[in-house]
Structure 1
Amino acid sequence: MHEMSLCEGIIEIAEEQASIQNYNKVKSIRLEIGRLSCVEPEAMRFAFDAASKGTIADGARLEIDHIPGSGWCVACQKEVEIGQRYDACPLCEHYPLEIRAGDAMRIKDMEVE
Structure 2
Amino acid sequence: MHELALMAELRHLAEEAASREGASRIHRLQLRIGSLSGVDADALRSAFAVVMADREPGDGSGSIDTQGSTLELEVVRTVCFCADCQQEFAPSDVIHACPRCGALSTQVLRGRELELVALEVS
Q: Please, what TM-score do these two structures have when normalized by structure 1?
A: 0.89
Larger Rg: 2
Contact 2:79 2:89 in 1 (8 A): yes
Post-superposition CA distance 1:14-65 (Å, at most 9, x none): 1111221011111111101111111111110001100112433232111011
After the TM superposition, which residues 1-113 of structure 1 pair with which residues of structure 2 at under 5 Å, given as runs? Answer: 1-55=1-55, 56-83=65-92, 86-113=95-122
* Residue segments in structure 2 that go unaligned for 5+ positions in a row: 56-64
Partner amino acid, structure 1, of 2:8: E
Distance in 1 of aligned mates of 2:114 and 2:92: 16
Q: Please, what TM-score do these two structures have when normalized by structure 2?
A: 0.83
TM-superposed CA distance for 1:83, in Å, is: 5.0
Equivalent pairs, count: 113
Partner amino acid, structure 2, of 1:14: A
Distance in 1 of aligned mates of 2:74 and 2:90: 17
Question: Percentage identity across aligned positions?
Answer: 29
Contact 1:36 1:85 in 2 (8 A): no
Contact 2:78 2:110 in 1 (8 A): yes
Distance in 2 of aligned mates of 1:40 and 1:89: 26
Structure 1 residue ranges, 4+ long, deviating more than 3 angstroms after superposition: 83-86
